[in-house]
Amino acid sequence: MSCIRTLYRFSLILALAFCLLLHADFVSAQKVALLPMSDFSKGENGVNLQLTKAVETSLKQLGVEMVSRNDLMLFMARNKVRSFRFLDSYLVKKIGAEFDSSLVLLGTVTEMDEKTPSIGLTFTALDTVDGAPVWSASEATSVKEQAPILGVGEAKSVVDLARPVLKDILSPLADIAHNASSLESRDYQLVGLSLYPGYVRGSQLVKADLKILFLGKRPTFIAAESEIGKSYLQYDRRTDSYQGEWFAPREDGRYDVDLRFEWGRERTVERLESVASYEVINDAPGLEMEIKKTIKIGQRLAFRNHVLILPRVDNLRPMAGWALSIKDERGQVVAYEEYDTDLPERMIWEGRGGDGFRLDNGVYTVGLEVWDLAGNRSAAEQRIVLQAYPPKVEGKIKNIEGEASLTLHAAGFYEFPLSNWRVELRSMTGALLVKGKGRELPATFDFLPVEGEKWAYLTVDGVDPLGNRLRGKKVKLQVVAGEKKIEKQEAESWVPDF
């Protein structure tokens, strides 16, 4: 009785083992997805459907199970795959997952001649587990190589010519297809993890947006993890992405972010390291500004034509933008420009306002502000004097009882007077009445007027400390006759009236 039980158990074990082997063979036998044969003789995206059908028939005769051609064409249209050139490893894996296929077969017609049929074929098989090529082969033949002795059954087309070659070239592929493994269920394609802002200040909010494609089931949880902890991301159906946020640490530095996948009820953890990073910056950029092409007059910097602005940032970092402002003495902004770019090495200001016209002589404040991608700001300013025009000089003549005098004084808007000047005064008949020069104004010159002439011509030229020149122009002055002042004489002593 015990022998019968032992034999029964042994038979049962053999039967179970046989069933398991049958099941293992069934699992290992996988489908092959054949993409339409590319035909370069018909253009870059040309296909040859007749050859595709011939290849499919040959594979079926070799015992290979094929993915439905119509289903595969719909897949290509849905995923915008016009030819194998638009295929990447993710789409190869997706074909494997969607059609339970182990291989994707690509074929190319490399040489054709319809008049004297000849053909060159190239095949490549891609593994749907990782998208890598696992087999390739090439073959070429012509009607002359296959010419029958009696002339019976001669190939009339390229497809007829290809059929005898296909079985030989594809037979190794049949063995590979039967032994291929199935696709892993946890495969995915990471499109990208965006962190914004990428540069932040301490304790500022950081937002994450994850784009990822899964071929099989999605993980139970996805978290963004760094040295400060982990933050779980929530799936957004509208954008087909995972989103989350957390507060940046207070300390300066770069923080790498890993992706943490938790699968199933057991929450098996899979980690993808250093997918993205962000940087914490708390210090303001150390901005310094130097202004050149100026002349120092006393304690002030002045210019008449243009100045060169040279900014310098001590703490190098990516800059988000900068702004330059010009203010007058009243604090009014007369020019302002702002740019969302990195700070230039140099800038030139020609003393013009925001309207493009030259500003009046005066004191102006040049202000420069910069800010980095984290929002830290720094500013610098410098007061400079603009004197683009020389001071004007006005004259006045007085004539009292034949004794005349010419008085010169500066006029107009200016910060610095003329440093050198020359003057000439001539009568209406050209007689030289006054000729002189000096460094300071006002100044007075006595002269004898021409009797009977009520007008004289004044010419003044000069230069200020900045090099602005006053060009002499004849100005007509009236010789004004005035009354002589009578000085009241006071008594040298007085006697009190008693």
The separation between CA 231 and the C-alpha centre of its own chain, rounded to angstroms, equals: 29
What mean pLDDT comes out for the span 433-445?
A: 94
Which DSSP category does 329 fall into?
T
Instruction: Give me 6's structure tokens.
Output: 């032992």
Instruction: Give me 342's structure tokens.
Output: 């990195």
Cα–Cα distance for residue pair 474/430, rounded to 1 Å:
12
* Residue 358 C-beta-side C-alpha neighbours within 13 Å: 9
Residue 294 has a CB neighbour count (10 Å cut-off) of 18
pLDDT per residue over 385-420, tens digit each? 999 999 999 999 998 877 899 999 999 889 999 999
In the predicted structure, residue 143 carries a pLDDT above the cut 70: no
pLDDT at site 155: 60
Give the H/E segment covering residue 246: strand 241-247
Handedness of CA 277, 282, 283, 284 (dihedral sign): positive
The strand pair at 480-482 and 392-400 is best described as parallel
Cα–Cα distance for residue pair 236/76, rounded to 1 Å:
27
Average pLDDT, the chain: 84
CATH superfamily, domain 188-280, is Immunoglobulins (2.60.40.10)
Cα–Cα distance for residue pair 378/368, rounded to 1 Å:
8
467-487: burial string, b at 16+ Cβ within 10 Å, e else? ebebebeeeebebeeeeeeee
In the predicted structure, residue 457 carries a pLDDT above the cut 60: yes
Confidence of residue 222 (pLDDT cuts 50, 70, 90): very high
Instruction: Give me 441's structure tokens.
Output: 């104004």
CATH architecture, range 392-482: Sandwich (2.60)
The fold adopted by the segment(s) 25-179 is Rossmann fold (3.40.50)
**What are the residue boundaries of the structural domains of the chain, listed by start?**
25-179, 188-280, 287-386, 392-482
CATH number of 287-386: 2.60.40.4070
pLDDT at site 359: 95
Residues 6+ apart with CB under 8 A from 425: 395, 397, 406, 432, 433, 434, 435, 445, 447, 456, 457, 458, 459, 477
Cα–Cα distance for residue pair 119/50, rounded to 1 Å:
14
In the predicted structure, residue 21 carries a pLDDT above the cut 50: no
Residue 399 has a CB neighbour count (10 Å cut-off) of 18
Order of strands across the sheet that contains 287-292: 287-292, 307-313, 347-349
Residue 32 has a CB neighbour count (10 Å cut-off) of 25
pLDDT at site 12: 33
Cα–Cα distance for residue pair 102/135, rounded to 1 Å:
13
Report the candidate in 425, 417, 424, 407 with the shortest Cα–Cα distance to residue 468: 417
Q: Is the bond preceding 442 in cis, omega lying within 30 degrees of 0?
A: yes
In the predicted structure, residue 340 carries a pLDDT above the cut 90: yes
Which DSSP category does 419 fall into?
S
Of residues 179 and 75, which shows the higher confidence score?
75
Q: Give the DSSP letter string of 96-107.
A: HHHHTEEEEEEE
pLDDT per residue over 33-72, tens digit each? 999 988 877 777 788 888 899 999 989 888 888 999 899 9
What are the phi and psi torsion angles at 60 (to 5°)? -65, -35
Cβ atoms of 435 and 498 closer than 8 Å:
no
* pTM for this model (two decimals): 0.58
In the predicted structure, residue 29 carries a pLDDT above the cut 80: no
Percent of the chain with pLDDT over 70: 84
Cβ atoms of 34 and 72 closer than 8 Å:
yes
CATH topology identical between 188-280 and 287-386: yes
- Cβ-based burial of 261 (10 A; exposed 0-12, middle 13-18, buried ≥19): buried
Report the candidate in 27, 97, 109, 108 with the shortest Cα–Cα distance to residue 67: 97
pLDDT per residue over 251-284, tens digit each? 999 999 999 999 877 778 889 999 999 999 999 9
Cα–Cα distance for residue pair 256/278, rounded to 1 Å:
7
Cβ atoms of 414 and 361 closer than 8 Å:
yes
